């Protein structure tokens, strides 16, 4: 009897414990994420598939990303080291001196960002499939994703000379991708762009902020204008062919107000007379979208003690426009008294800074002369050494002026203009000049200069186009590519502590060490970096 | 029966309705003295009337008084480490008893995984610290009770903030990643050691404070013993979580036959042992004017003389009250305790308040076949925190107290803290006054276990545990702070909710067959952990008349931010078994196996097996050793085992998409949320494995007056889990995966010696010494010897991405890796070509310069007793480690150019004032120290005449009394969080909250 009670008690105990936990399969059940199946089931989520590939664009125009590698390595922008300030492990000096190594922070971060962006585009492509029995809208989205993939691949070959490629429909990321050489990638990209061109939405119908047919044409033009650099074979006529498809319909005009192109409400220019924007990435100061403090350089350049509008605080006294560039492009190239691109003081009464180049004694919005943190007058000089610069050294540039009433000083409402009309015109002038037609080239350049209230050039040589690009497109993320194409990238920059020319191999940045390691032998380092 | 006892009984009945106390009749009072055979009084010996629950214990002088029901009873005298004796009363009223020492004195019971073991039966490396050996300090958290006490266990306090966490490394750093914490098991419930305190990303340039200690919820007074399982033969029973060692915490329970009411309290005062020597206002002006040619009336010379350290540090007053009530009968026992601790930090406003209540009870039933245990801990801690912690270049409270211009006045003419319009110059007093940061953490840990005797020797046990934490952190930063004026203040409320559930079934069989002793264990365990929380943030408040955190809806809605999250539940399912066999108490074998499955791992490798095997030979049981008449104990141990480490986050093995701000696009001015591929599938993701081998020797000579343990070990960690770069065109740039070939080796020796130097009836002197030396190195963690894994992020202006440490093949973990100051010209320019970051092979400028891991550590404890007086002091020492003084880097003389303060020691040197600080060995210092960690003087009052008091003790103690070190920072026992990409950094001091020196006055009374 006793035993029976005992055994039934025991049985009851075991049974109850089985209710408390039956054996588990140990599968993860995510709470704040979804599996890909969930997402694909809902057709309303298609724009959410475009968003990741498009969203990666925002982070490229940042000092530690693609923009930084295109600008801080060129002659028109430098982050000098001021005491300890802006040393940052040497990354800026290395960019200026072209002495980067495969472990360079931004070389690695930019590679990762571009790779992630391609993967995001690939994923969207894989979800939208390949079949023809779909709506034009879906075809448009597919093309946009492929355009974005091609754009990121173009960024990769421009910097690193190599682009990985992976079949979008393969999601086993432990397998090795194919590493396309610059030449193979070139043909892959232009063929793909030509295939999707007619499925891309026309500018007239396209949404603002997404790539349209003109963006696709512009990227094709960029590919061809750099074909000589990428493949060793010039293709000026091909470039002209695509540029003319942008220019000839007359959808774009040069802006009446140069700095209006970049202003805080520049999205209002869309399709208005004087709209130059061909390809933009929309930004917003309400939300961070994960890229606080990354755009658009106001904080990077102005001094700690400058409070634009009285309360736009927290500036970091970073990058400057080097003296060598100022002398070449401005003091010997144009009339700074009339050229609106040099100084436009419209915003000065509110912000105590000017659009364009800021130099000399700086004042507060109340008109009080500012001092630096050491108590010396805050007087921006034209000269600036690379190392041990003072807080006053260097001319500061403002292109994307902040809003009068900032919502958040770490963010920006200005949309970033990736490609614009003046760039297309200057590319056309360049192709004409390279084909020997300097007359038509001069006409185009003078058309732009007239809009910018700069005196017309009497004659021109090819190098004048590079100088004009330096005046028109400064700090917009084109300079390194332009200088390489015009053969000036490796030259010494003696006014800022770079007395020696760089080796030929510096035209490519190294492939990041982490990428070399992860590729396990499939990816060879660029020459000069081993 | 007196009134007092009756009322107590009433309380007990209310608390435990099943509790029964025997009634008393025909009372008779017996008194006497209990001594050892050598005449030493035995305090705390137990005297029980045989066959009843009626009993008492001796006071500190060995005296007892016991009321017995009648003359025909037998008294049983017992004491730990002594043989029990029975004595019939037979008409006597005074019974003095002398107890024989148990020859081996080895019957000490040690807690091991899923059970207890006699110390003599141990085959693995296990260290046990009992309550009487705890550090006698005002310890807010349990690990401070054993800091420096145990060979092979290095405990580093992160900082001196009340309630701060510690780094505990058992037998060296065995992995690269951050998951280096041991597993904590409290009365059989494994804890989830996720930080319970919500993070607080804060105002511009002021990062989150370091996490506080998840063990804060325990009351140190409730802890009876802390046992540490060190080698794999001991920890393998915890399988995938045993690689970093296991800390078993046993709480106090009621004891049969004695009803105790204990009250203990202390009052302590703490202060800063030393200030850092920055320039005084006069010195500062002299350098500025004489050396730097600044004008006397320079705009940055404000005319005051302020010692900013003086303004933020204070003498902290703390007090603690602890009351406990315990007792029991043959059938049941109980213990109830309540603790209140109020600890003031040595920085103004910082404090910790803690309330902990605990109930422990046991009950036997079904004619002793069923044994039920239950316990419940409920705690609430309230931490007032100050803005100290990781910083942007503007600096935290401490850095600003060191670098702020000493000519600034503290307050302006309106009586408010003086501030300039600059956002990067911060008056530390303003930071203190205008910031409120309060964290309340409520935690409930409940455990219940039932053991059922099935047949003789075979027991089934069901163990259930629930651990629930809810923490809320409210941060209020006023718009009066100049650096927050543009966004008009900021408020944050962050919460965390953690839930941990465990159920375990075990079967235990113990049987002796003549000289064969067998113990078998089989078990199943299931654990689930859930974590979730939300963070709210708001800004742009119109008024600060009301705390922002109480009016967050009044902030501008455009700038408020809400973020909620929930982790994928973490599940762990395990099967385990153990065999203990000993032959004639001479040859001992232990074999264990655990099969662990975790939801965190890949679909192809959910389960891992963790075996261990250990042998011990008790030489002292052999005749040829006994004939030597030297050893009272001699045991050889050999052990081998495999354990795992699964301390990575969830969602690392499954293909998942998550809404992501960085993937969100704006189209036609409308944000479109992007789903980003968050994790790619990793079907092969599995445990990190540590294989360890241990050789140990336990010995006792001079009749046990000198005893000790020596262990030699090797730990090899393979398959390390690390964040690694993905192959190109993966949606993520890194992923967690197992490192194929690399491994980390820890070779070490541990020594623990206990000695009784003097032992007479009036005077005794005990000495304990421990020593640990561990050699650590990483191998093949990189494909070639020329590449490194950087970590040790350095803070400061122009230091983005700068690091001070590297992991590389053939080097110890957390090796310092940097340029030497010799290669930096004294003008501040590097000589030659500027290559700041070169890999090892091509290096002409970067060097490995020492490691943050010490070459050896030792601890020495001396305790003396003379009659009623006792005295003990404890010395703790660390040798051969380096510390990177990030604080000093931020206080270099170049600050003088920016009207900021600098360290006196830099001013005198030959470097120029425009010297550009770099991560270099100028700031790398020797972290060795010898510390008088604590000293205690106590007095036990002779209260044998007062019937209702058993024990009364007063004591004075001091901690961190004396420190010998070359380290120039506040304290070398420091570790700021400086991990990069999940890679562990150690030995970096970045304006950590300094450790205090504390004097404590305490009283313990037992009724």
Q: How far apart are CA B938 and CA B956, in angstroms?
A: 6
DSSP B53: S
Q: What pLDDT digit, counting tens, does each position of A205-234 carry?
A: 888 989 999 999 999 999 999 999 999 999
pLDDT at B772: 93
The answer to whether A305 contacts B672, with C-beta atoms less than 8 Å apart, is: no
pLDDT at B837: 38
The answer to whether B894 contacts A83, with C-beta atoms less than 8 Å apart, is: yes
pLDDT at A15: 53
The answer to whether B300 contacts A374, with C-beta atoms less than 8 Å apart, is: yes
Question: Are the beta carbons of A168 and A125 closer than 8 angstroms?
Answer: yes
The answer to whether B837 contacts A83, with C-beta atoms less than 8 Å apart, is: no
pLDDT at B76: 86
Q: How far apart are CA A491 and CA A376, in angstroms?
A: 35
Q: What is the band of A188 on the pLDDT scale with cuts at 50, 70, 90?
A: very high
Two structure tokens written together for B987: 């030995």
Mean residue pLDDT across chain A: 88
B103 pLDDT exceeds 60? Answer: no
Q: Residue B776: CB partners within 8 Å, gap ≥ 6?
A: B172, B173, B744, B745, B746, B812, B813, B851, B853
The answer to whether A519 contacts B300, with C-beta atoms less than 8 Å apart, is: no
- Cα→Cα distances B196→A443, B210, B216, B335, B446, Å: 69, 12, 10, 27, 17
Q: What is the band of A39 on the pLDDT scale with cuts at 50, 70, 90?
A: low
Q: What is the band of A421 on the pLDDT scale with cuts at 50, 70, 90?
A: very high
B633 pLDDT exceeds 60? Answer: yes
Secondary element (H or E) of residue A4: helix A2-20
B202 pLDDT exceeds 60? Answer: no
Task: Report the 10 Å Cβ neighbour count for B676.
Answer: 26
Max mean pLDDT range (A1-5, A382-386, B563-567):
A382-386
The answer to whether B674 contacts A48, with C-beta atoms less than 8 Å apart, is: yes
B603 or A461, greater pLDDT: A461
Mean residue pLDDT across chain B: 84
Of B559, B569, B725, the CB nearest to A514: B725
- A239 φ, ψ (degrees, to nearest 5): -60, -50
Task: Report the 10 Å Cβ neighbour count for B308.
Answer: 23
The answer to whether A50 contacts B665, with C-beta atoms less than 8 Å apart, is: yes
Of B503, B730, B733, the CB nearest to A17: B503
Question: Are the beta carbons of A462 and A486 closer than 8 angstroms?
Answer: yes
pLDDT at B46: 82
How many contiguous H segments (helices) and E segments (strands) does chain A have? 19, 9
Two structure tokens written together for A229: 């650099």
Helix ranges (DSSP H) in B338-450: 397-403, 428-433
Of A165, A173, A208, the CB nearest to B730: A173
Of A26, A54, A118, the CB nearest to B606: A26
Mean per-residue pLDDT, B474-489: 85
- A486 φ, ψ (degrees, to nearest 5): -90, 0
Is B986 strand, coil or helix?
Answer: coil
Q: What pLDDT digit, counting tens, does each position of A475-510 carry?
A: 999 999 999 999 999 999 999 989 999 999 999 999
Q: Residue A108: CB partners within 8 Å, gap ≥ 6?
A: A512, A513, A514, A515
DSSP B287: I
Exposed/middle/buried for B25, CB within 10 Å: 0-12, 13-18, 19+?
Answer: exposed
Question: Are the beta carbons of B665 and B672 closer than 8 angstroms?
Answer: yes
In B, which residues are within 8 Å of A115 by CB distance?
A: 728-730, 733
Q: What is the band of B956 on the pLDDT scale with cuts at 50, 70, 90?
A: very high
A9 pLDDT exceeds 70? Answer: no
Residue from A293, A261, A298, A294 nearest A280 by CA: A261
pTM of the model: 0.81
Contacts 24+ apart (CB under 8 A), A38-46: A38/B657, A39/A127, A39/B657, A39/B675, A40/A127, A45/B675, A46/A128, A46/A138, A46/A141
Q: Residue B463: CB partners within 8 Å, gap ≥ 6?
A: B188, B189, B447, B448, B449, B502, B503, B504, B505, B506
pLDDT at B992: 85
Q: Residue B945: CB partners within 8 Å, gap ≥ 6?
A: none
In A, which residues are within 8 Å of B565 by CB distance?
A: 32
Mean per-residue pLDDT, B533-561: 84
pLDDT at A236: 97
Is A370 strand, coil or helix?
Answer: coil
Q: What pLDDT digit, counting tens, does each position of B150-200 carry?
A: 888 888 777 778 877 777 888 877 787 766 788 889 888 888 777 667 766
Q: What is the band of B390 on the pLDDT scale with cuts at 50, 70, 90?
A: low
Q: What is the band of A275 on the pLDDT scale with cuts at 50, 70, 90?
A: very high
**For testing the chain A interface, which of B481, B728, B841 should be mutated: the one with the most A CBs within 10 Å?**
B728
Of B462, B566, B829, the CB nearest to A13: B462
Question: Are the beta carbons of A145 and B652 closer than 8 angstroms?
Answer: no
pLDDT at B37: 76
How many residue contacts between A and B have a Cβ separation below 8 Å?
325
Max mean pLDDT range (A42-56, B160-174, B541-555):
B541-555
Q: What is the band of A463 on the pLDDT scale with cuts at 50, 70, 90?
A: very high
Q: How far apart are CA B992 and CA B994, in angstroms?
A: 6
Mean per-residue pLDDT, A350-375: 90
B141 pLDDT exceeds 90? Answer: no
CA dihedral A327, A328, A333, A334 (to 10 degrees): -40
The answer to whether B674 contacts A87, with C-beta atoms less than 8 Å apart, is: no
- What is the separation of C-alpha B582 from the centre of its chain, rounded to a whole number of angstroms? 35
Question: Are the beta carbons of B256 and B329 closer than 8 angstroms?
Answer: yes
Two structure tokens written together for A492: 């010494």
Q: What percentage of residues in chain B have a pLDDT greater than 90?
A: 36
Query: Is B462 touching A (CB cutoff 8 A)?
Result: yes
Q: What is the band of B825 on the pLDDT scale with cuts at 50, 70, 90?
A: very low
A435 or B292, greater pLDDT: A435
Chain B CA closest to residue A7: B454
Residue from A464, A371, A407 nearest A285 by CA: A407
pLDDT at B840: 35
pLDDT at A287: 66
- B679 φ, ψ (degrees, to nearest 5): -140, 140
- What is the separation of C-alpha A446 from the centre of its chain, rounded to a whole number of angstroms? 28
The answer to whether B675 contacts A52, with C-beta atoms less than 8 Å apart, is: yes
pLDDT at B826: 43
Max mean pLDDT range (A86-90, A104-108, B310-314):
B310-314
pLDDT at B834: 32
The answer to whether A83 contacts B836, with C-beta atoms less than 8 Å apart, is: no
Nearest 5°: CA angle at B28, between B24 and B32?
120
Question: Are the beta carbons of A154 and A223 closer than 8 angstroms?
Answer: yes
The answer to whether A88 contacts B599, with C-beta atoms less than 8 Å apart, is: no
- Cα→Cα distances B32→B45, B101, B658, B953, Å: 12, 19, 74, 22
Pick from B129-133, B362-366, B403-407: least confident: B129-133
pLDDT at A28: 77
In A, which residues are within 8 Å of B450 by CB distance?
A: 13
Pick from A39-53, B215-229, B464-478, B713-727: least confident: A39-53
Mean per-residue pLDDT, A153-179: 90
Question: Are the beta carbons of B301 and B407 closer than 8 angstroms?
Answer: yes
In B, which residues are within 8 Å of A94 by CB distance?
A: 834, 836-837
Window B:699-738, CB contacts with A under 8 Å: 724-733
In A, which residues are within 8 Å of B828 by CB distance?
A: 388
Query: Is B833 touching A (CB cutoff 8 A)?
Result: yes
Is B107 strand, coil or helix?
Answer: coil
Query: Is B948 touching A (CB cutoff 8 A)?
Result: no
Residue from A187, A189, A165 nearest A176 by CA: A165
A470 pLDDT exceeds 90? Answer: yes
DSSP A493: B
HEC profile for B822-886? HHECCCCCECCCCCCCCCCCCCCCEEEEEECCCCEEEEEEEEEEECCEEEEEEEEEEECCEEEEH
Query: Is B835 touching A (CB cutoff 8 A)?
Result: yes
B36 pLDDT exceeds 50? Answer: yes
């Amino acid at each position: 009897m006793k035993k029976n009670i005992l055994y039934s008690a025991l049985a009851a105990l075991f049974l109850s414990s089985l209710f408390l936990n039956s054996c588990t399969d140990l599968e993860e059940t995510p709470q704040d994420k979804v599996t890909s199946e969930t997402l694909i089931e809902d057709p309303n989520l298609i724009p959410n598939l475009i968003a990741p590939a498009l969203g990666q664009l925002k982070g490229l125009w940042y000092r530690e990303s693609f923009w930084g590698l295109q600008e801080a390595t060129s002659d028109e922008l430098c982050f000098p080291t001021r005491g300890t300030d802006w040393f940052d492990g040497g990354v800026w000096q290395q960019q200026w001196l072209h002495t980067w190594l495969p472990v360079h922070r931004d070389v690695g971060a930019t590679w990762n960002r571009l790779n992630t962006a391609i993967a995001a585009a690939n994923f969207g492509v894989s979800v939208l499939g390949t079949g023809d029995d779909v709506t034009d809208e879906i075809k448009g989205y597919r093309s946009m994703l492929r355009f974005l993939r091609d754009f990121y691949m173009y960024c990769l070959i421009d910097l690193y000379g190599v682009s990985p490629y992976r079949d979008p429909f393969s999601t086993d990321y432990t397998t090795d991708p194919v590493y396309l050489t610059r030449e193979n990638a070139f043909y892959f990209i232009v063929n793909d762009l030509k295939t999707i061109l007619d499925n891309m939405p026309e500018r007239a119908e396209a949404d603002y902020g997404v790539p349209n047919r003109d963006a696709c044409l512009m990227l094709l033009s960029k590919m061809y204008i750099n074909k000589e650099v990428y493949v060793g074979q010039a293709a000026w006529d091909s470039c002209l062919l695509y540029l003319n498809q942008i220019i000839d319909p007359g959808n774009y005009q040069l802006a009446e107000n140069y700095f209006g192109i970049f202003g805080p409400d520049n999205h209002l220019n869309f399709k208005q007379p004087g709209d130059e924007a061909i390809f933009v990435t929309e930004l917003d100061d309400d939300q961070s979208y994960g890229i606080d403090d990354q755009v658009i350089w106001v904080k990077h350049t102005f001094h700690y003690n400058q409070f634009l509008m009285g309360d736009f605080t927290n500036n970091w006294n970073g990058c400057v426009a080097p003296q060598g560039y100022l002398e070449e492009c401005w003091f010997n190239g144009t009339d700074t008294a009339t050229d609106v691109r040099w100084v436009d003081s419209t915003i000065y009464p509110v912000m105590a800074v000017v659009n364009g180049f800021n130099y000399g004694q700086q004042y507060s919005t109340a008109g009080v002369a500012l001092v630096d943190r050491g108590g010396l007058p805050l007087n921006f000089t034209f000269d600036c050494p690379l190392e041990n610069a003072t807080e006053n050294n260097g001319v500061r540039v403002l292109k994307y002026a902040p809003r009068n009433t900032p919502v958040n000083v770490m963010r920006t409402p200005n949309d970033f203009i990736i490609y614009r009309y003046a760039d297309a015109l200057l590319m056309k002038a360049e192709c004409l000049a390279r084909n020997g037609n300097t007359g038509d080239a001069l006409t185009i350049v003078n058309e732009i200069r007239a809009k910018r209230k700069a005196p017309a050039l009497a004659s021109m040589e090819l190098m004048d186009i590079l100088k004009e690009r330096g005046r028109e497109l400064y700090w917009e993320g084109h300079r390194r590519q332009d200088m390489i194409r015009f053969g000036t990238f490796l030259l010494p920059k003696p006014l800022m502590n770079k007395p020696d020319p760089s080796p030929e191999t510096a035209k490519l940045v190294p492939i990041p060490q982490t990428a070399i390691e992860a590729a396990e032998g499939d990816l060879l380092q660029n020459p000069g970096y081993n | 029966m007196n009134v007092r006892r009756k009322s107590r009984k009433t309380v007990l009945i209310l608390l435990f309705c099943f509790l029964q106390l025997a009634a008393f009749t025909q009372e008779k009072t017996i008194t006497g003295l209990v001594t050892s055979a050598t005449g030493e009084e035995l305090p705390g010996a137990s005297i029980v009337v045989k066959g009843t629950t009626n009993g008492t214990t001796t006071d500190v002088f060995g005296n007892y008084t016991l009321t017995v029901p009648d003359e025909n009873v037998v008294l049983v005298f017992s004491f730990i480490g002594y043989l029990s004796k029975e004595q019939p009363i037979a008409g006597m009223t005074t019974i003095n008893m002398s107890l024989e020492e148990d020859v081996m004195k080895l019957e000490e019971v040690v807690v091991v995984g899923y059970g207890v073991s006699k110390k003599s039966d141990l085959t693995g490396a296990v260290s046990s610290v009992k309550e009487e050996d705890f550090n006698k300090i005002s310890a807010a958290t349990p690990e401070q009770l054993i800091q420096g006490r145990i060979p092979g266990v290095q405990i580093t306090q992160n900082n001196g903030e009340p309630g701060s966490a510690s780094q505990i490394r058992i037998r060296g750093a065995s992995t690269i990643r951050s998951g280096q914490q041991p597993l904590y098991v409290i009365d059989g419930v494994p804890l989830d050691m996720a930080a319970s305190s919500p993070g607080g990303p804060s105002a511009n340039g002021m990062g989150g404070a370091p996490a506080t200690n998840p063990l804060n919820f325990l009351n140190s007074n409730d802890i009876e013993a802390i046992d540490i399982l060190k080698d794999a033969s001991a920890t393998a029973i915890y399988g995938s979580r045993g690689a970093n060692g296991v800390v078993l915490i046993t709480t106090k329970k009621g004891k049969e036959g004695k009803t105790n009411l204990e009250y203990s309290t202390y009052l302590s005062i703490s202060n800063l042992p030393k200030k850092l020597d920055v320039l005084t206002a006069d010195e500062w002006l002299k350098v500025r004017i004489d050396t730097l040619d600044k004008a006397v009336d320079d705009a940055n010379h404000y005319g005051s003389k302020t010692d900013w350290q003086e303004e933020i540090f204070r003498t902290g007053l703390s007090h603690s009250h602890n009351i406990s009530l315990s007792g029991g009968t043959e059938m049941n026992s109980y213990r109830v305790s309540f603790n209140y601790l109020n600890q003031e930090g040595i920085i103004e406003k910082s404090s910790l308040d803690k309330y902990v209540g605990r109930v422990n009870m046991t009950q036997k039933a079904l004619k002793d076949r069923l044994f039920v245990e239950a316990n419940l801990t409920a705690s609430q801690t309230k931490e007032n925190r100050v803005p100290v912690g990781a910083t942007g270049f503007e600096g935290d409270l401490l850095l600003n107290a060191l670098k702020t211009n000493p000519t600034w006045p503290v307050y302006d003419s309106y009586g408010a803290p003086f501030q300039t319009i600059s956002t990067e110059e911060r008056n530390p007093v303003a930071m203190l006054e205008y910031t409120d940061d309060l964290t309340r953490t409520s935690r409930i840990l409940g455990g219940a276990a039932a053991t059922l005797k099935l047949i003789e020797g075979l027991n089934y046990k069901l163990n259930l545990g629930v651990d629930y934490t809810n923490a809320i952190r409210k941060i209020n930063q006023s718009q009066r702070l100049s650096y927050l004026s543009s966004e008009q203040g900021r408020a944050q409320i962050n919460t965390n909710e953690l839930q941990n559930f465990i159920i375990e079934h075990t079967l235990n069989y113990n049987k002796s067959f003549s000289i064969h002793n067998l113990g078998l264990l089989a078990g199943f365990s299931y654990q689930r952990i859930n974590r979730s929380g939300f963070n709210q943030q708001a800004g742009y408040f119109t008024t600060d008349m009301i705390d922002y955190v109480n009016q967050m809806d009044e902030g501008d809605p455009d700038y408020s931010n809400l973020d909620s999250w929930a982790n994928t539940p973490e599940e762990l399912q395990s099967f385990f078994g153990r065999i203990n066999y000993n032959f004639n108490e001479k040859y001992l074998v232990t074999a264990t196996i655990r099969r662990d499955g975790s939801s965190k791992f890949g679909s192809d490798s959910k389960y891992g097996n963790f075996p261990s095997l250990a042998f011990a030979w008790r030489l002292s049981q052999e005749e040829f050793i006994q004939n030597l008449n030297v050893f009272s104990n001699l045991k050889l141990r050999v052990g081998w085992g495999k354990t795992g480490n699964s301390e990575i986050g969830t969602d690392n093995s499954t293909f998942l998409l998550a809404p992501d701000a960085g993937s969100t696009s704006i189209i036609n001015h409308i944000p479109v949320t992007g789903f980003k591929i968050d994790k790619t599938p990793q079907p092969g993701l599995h445990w990190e494995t540590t294989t360890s081998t241990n050789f140990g020797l336990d010995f006792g000579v001079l009749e046990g007056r000198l005893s000790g343990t020596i262990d030699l070990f090797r730990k090899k960690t393979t398959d390390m889990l690390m964040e690694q770069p993905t192959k190109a065109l993966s949606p993520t740039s890194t992923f967690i995966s197992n490192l194929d070939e690399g491994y980390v080796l820890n070779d070490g020796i541990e020594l623990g010696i206990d000695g009784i130097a003097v032992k007479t009836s009036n005077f005794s002197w005990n000495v304990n010494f421990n020593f640990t030396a561990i050699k650590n190195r990483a191998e093949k963690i990189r494909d070639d010897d020329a590449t490194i894994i950087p970590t040790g992020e350095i803070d400061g202006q122009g230091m983005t991405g700068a690091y001070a440490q590297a992991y590389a093949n053939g080097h110890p973990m957390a090796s310092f890796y940097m340029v030497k100051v010799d290669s930096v010209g004294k003008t501040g320019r590097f000589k030659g070509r500027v290559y700041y970051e070169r890999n090892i092979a091509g290096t002409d400028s970067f060097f490995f310069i020492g490691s943050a891991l010490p070459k050896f550590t030792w601890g020495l404890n001396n305790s003396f007793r003379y009659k009623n007086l006792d005295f003990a002091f404890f010395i703790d020492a660390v040798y051969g480690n380096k510390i990177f003084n990030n604080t000093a880097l931020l206080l270099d003389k170049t600050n003088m150019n920016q009207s900021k303060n600098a360290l006196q020691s830099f001013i005198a040197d030959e470097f120029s004032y425009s010297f550009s600080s770099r991560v270099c060995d100028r700031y790398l210092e020797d972290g060795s120290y010898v510390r008088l960690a604590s000293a205690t003087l106590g007095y036990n009052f002779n209260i044998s005449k007062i019937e209702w008091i058993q024990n009364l003790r007063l004591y004075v103690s001091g901690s961190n009394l004396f420190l010998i070190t070359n380290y120039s920072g506040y304290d070398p026992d420091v570790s700021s969080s400086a991990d990069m990409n999940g890679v562990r950094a150690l030995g970096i001091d970045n304006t950590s909250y300094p450790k205090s020196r504390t004097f404590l006055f305490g009283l313990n009374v037992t009724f």
